[in-house]
Amino acid sequence: KAGVTQTPRYLIKTRGQQVTLSCSPISGHRSVSWYQQTPGQGLQFLFEYFSETQRNKGNFPGRFSGRQFSNSRSEMNVSTLELGDSALYLCASSLGLEAATNTGELFFGEGSRLTVL
Amino acid sequence: AQKITQTQPGMFVQEKEAVTLDCTYDTSDPSYGLFWYKQPSSGEMIFLIYQGSYDQQNATEGRYSLNFQKARKSANLVISASQLGDSAMYFCAMREINTGTASKLTFGTGTRLQVTL
């Protein structure tokens, strides 16, 4: 089956602009979570969406937001971009039923690499 | 709070040799899952292996095995018969099941593995 698809793969923005990243999960997966990866902070959890609802949120400012559609596809948005937002943004897809099954079904996409100038 | 520690920033191994990448974790949740991911320079996080906290057997997936020592809170990855294509960053990650954050992974800082001829 098809894997997790993230678009765009690369993008360059300038400070103050906003950006929208997209993630299509594996078919049948209802949970989409987002991570930010930077050399200084490593991999950090941004938020998770399940059945169109934000289920968990990491410690990021309100400039970072997201949503999930009825087909489980998710978008994340970063407004008023800062230089420090330059990062690889990774999306992960899972069944969303881990509390019941405790499975390893959690797969990542190739990421969207954002550069802020 | 959960924490993942990877104490080896970099490792070298000769082709066809086995290598062990260390990972220790800390959690107060009795139900959790441990993951290993490989991240080549392209950025994609590739799932390697998963161990649930209640799994009785150590997980194995082809050349990858997870040496799970629950009492010591360690989950070391063993790669047998290393190949040049194994050169990459390797991340250990954990998720807690009973805290309502089942899709939130906490990552270690990673180990860069270099396979040599």
pLDDT, tens digit, 9 for 90 and up, residues A26-79: 999 999 999 999 999 999 999 999 999 998 899 999 999 999 999 999 999 999
Which pLDDT score is estimated for A107? 92
The C-alpha torsion from A25 through A27 and A29 to A31, rounded to 10°, is 30
Helix, strand, coil shares of chain B, percent, nearest 5, are 5, 50, 45
At A104 the pLDDT is 74
d(CA B107, CA A13): 28
- Chain B positions touching A112 (Cβ under 8 A) are none
Q: Which residues pair with residue B5 across a beta bridge?
A: B24
**CB-CB under 8 Å, A98 with B105:** no
**Predicted local distance difference test score (pLDDT) of residue A99:** 58
Selecting from A98, A109, A111 the residue whose C-beta is nearest the C-beta of B103 gives A98
Instruction: Find the residue in A nearest to B52 (Cα).
Output: A102
Cα dihedral B57, B58, B59, B60 sign: negative
Task: Tell whether the model's pLDDT for residue A109 goes beyond 60.
Answer: yes
Question: For residues A46 and A76, is the Cβ–Cβ distance under 8 A?
Answer: yes
Q: How much of chain B, in percent, has pLDDT values that exceed 70?
A: 96
* CB-CB under 8 Å, A111 with B110: no
What the block records as the tokens of A26 is: 């594996």
Point out the residues of chain B with pLDDT beneath 70: 99-102
Q: Which of B62, B86, B78, B39 is nearest to A92 (CA)?
A: B39
Q: Grade residue A105 by pLDDT with cuts at 50, 70 and 90.
A: confident
Q: State pLDDT tens for residues A73-100.
A: 999 999 999 999 999 999 999 887 765 5
Whether A56 sits inside 8 A of B100 (CB atoms) is yes
Looking at the DSSP bridge assignments, the partners of residue A102 are none
Among A90, A106, A113, most B C-beta atoms within 10 A, so best to mutate, is A106
Quick check: A60 contacting B, CB < 8 Å?
Answer: no
pLDDT at A98: 64
For residue A13 the two structure tokens come to 């923005």
Question: Quick check: A52 and A117 in contact, CB under 8 A?
Answer: no
Supply the pLDDT for residue A67: 97
